[in-house]
Each structure stands twice: as C-alpha cells, then as structure tokens.
Structure 1
Amino acid sequence: MSGVAVGEECVTIYEEMKMSRKYKFATFRVNEDLTEIVPDAVGEPDADFEEFLSKFPEKDARYGIIDIDYEDDGCAKSRIVFIFWSPDGAPIRSKMVYASSKESLRRKFAGIMTEVQGNDLSDLTMDEIKGRIMRV
C-alpha cells in the first residue's frame, strides 16, 4: 500500500458507468502531491476505443476503465475492464507509486473481473482485451 487515497469522484464515475452507462471510459491519475487518485478524463457514451487509448501518455502511468461491448454465444454483452498503464518510458518513481496504489483503486470498483496491464500500446488492443474477457 502506498498511502495514496482514492478520491470519491473516481468511485462516482465508476458507479455512473456501471449503472447508467453515462461514460464509455474514464482514466485516473495520481495527483501532483502523490496523495490521491483523481479523475483524469472521461469519454462520452459514443466515444471509441482509439479516443480511450489517446488518453494514456507515453511517459507516465495511468489507470483506466472502459465499457467493452462484445458477443458471447450470439448474445450481446458488455463488461467494464480495468486498465493499468505503465509505459516503459515512465519515470521509475511514477511506476512504483502507480503499482503500489493500484489495488486501492481496484477495490473501490466492485464488480470488475478483468484487468489488462499495458506497457506499450501494442498491449492494449481490442482483440487482447476481448480475449481476456472471454477467459474470465
């Protein structure tokens, strides 16, 4: 545990995604004081996957959640997926703070069963994410 708190706005955004599909995605960052995880960006319900990926900086870590629509045995389904973004070019301190704070945020997002870690954008493809969903 890093001692970084999870801001209530993060939980509110997740609940609004889960209950009313108000957002397609959200990203979260650790504030400058390294004391709290706060919202970074949200995507409208019609936002696409590329817009979500554009919110992950090349040189810093982030957390994200995205509502993925998929088909299973001919039935349309959706699932919110947790993304831990830790690019190779991020500073070591940033990677450490984000890695040690991840579980605090995950615990606040009750019901998320799928997590994907990305160190490069090639790790975060729709095929990879849907593959993880289908294995759960």
Structure 2
Amino acid sequence: MDCGIQVKDSVVEAFNLMKIVSRKSEQRRKFLCLRVSDDDRYVIVNEEFDNEEFDNVKKPSEDDFLKFLSYLKSDCCCIVIYDVCYETTNSLVKDDLVIVNWCPEKAPAKQKLQFASAINIVKTKLQGVKATLQFNSMEDVSRSAVAEKLGKDVVKVEGVKVEE
C-alpha cells in the first residue's frame, strides 16, 4: 500500500551522519525520531526530540535504552532510528542501526495506516540498517526483543544482560 508519503532529504542527511561519523568518536547521534508532517506528505525529523545534541556513546549505558523508551508515546506513532550497542557471546561489542516502527494501539487509525506504509518507504531510503523492529505496546518492548533481531548470539544490550 502506497500512501504517497515521501521521505524529506533532511531525514536522509541526518541518517547518513549517524552512519558516517567515525565509530571511534565519542560524540554522535544515538537516536533519530521521525514523524509524518502536518500536511501528511512527508516523513520528517520530529522537532520535539531533535535538539541537535549528540550523545556520548563511548560506553554502552542502561540510560540509553531508557532514553529510547522515552521516544515512545502511548498515543502517537513514530519511527525511531536507534544506534544500539550490544555484546555477543564471544565478548565482541558492536553497534548497529535499527529502525523501530512504533504504532501503539491508542494511536489514531489514520496515523497507524500512514506509518504502516511509511515504514517501507523509510526502509528503502535509509540504507545500512541491521534490523527493523515493530512494536505496538510497551509490553512488546524489551532488550531481549531488540537482541533477538540483532542475532542469536547477543547477550547484552546497552551494557545490560539480556534476560532469556
């Protein structure tokens, strides 16, 4: 289903900065929250969460996962690009970009339909994503759900052990 929504160039530019910035850098964007524009024509950066601050991502932090949760409102859909840090069973620490499509049950029906279509457009435009996650309620969101999409050998997400 194509809803006619397009991805603004500013979204692609912000995403590319997340990818391009040296992984050795301590300062880079950890999250990019997207929404549909008021005229229903574009996927844009959500200004409410875009304060141009870059997060210190040298060390994984449980606070990063909690900050991610703060982007998820109970009555509003959004797409969050999350630069998640995780550890594997052989003690390799990695970070990869994931797309989280958040469509809570309390969101307006029109908005849910828009995001169901917009997520495919976003995935096509934003190349270099490890995984896409779909969450519809806070009960769905967990470190283990994120770990499952990143690979079967993931034991920690943002420095915290994944519960089985």
1:27 aligns with 2:33: yes
Equivalent residue number for residue 44 of structure 1: 54
| Aligned partner letter, 2:79 | Y
Q: Secondary structure at the match of 1:102?
A: helix
CA distance in structure 2 between the aligned counterparts of 1:79 and 1:122, rounded to whole angstroms:
23
Q: Percent same amino acid among aligned pairs?
A: 25
Q: Which runs of 4+ in 1 moved over 3 A?
A: none
Q: Distance in 2 between matches of 1:126 and 1:19?
A: 26
- After TM superposition, give the deviation of residue 19 of structure 1 in Å: 1.3
Normalising by structure 2, report the TM-score. 0.77
2-structure distance, mates of 1:86, 1:118: 6
Residue 61 of structure 1 corresponds to 77
Unaligned runs of 5+ in 1: none
Aligned amino acid, residue 102 of structure 1: I
Q: How many angstroms does 1:135 deviate by? A: 4.5
Long gaps (5+) in structure 2: 57-62, 154-164
Provide the aligned C-alpha RMSD in A.
1.7
TM-score, with structure 1 as normaliser? 0.92
Q: Could you say which structure has the higher helix fraction?
A: 1
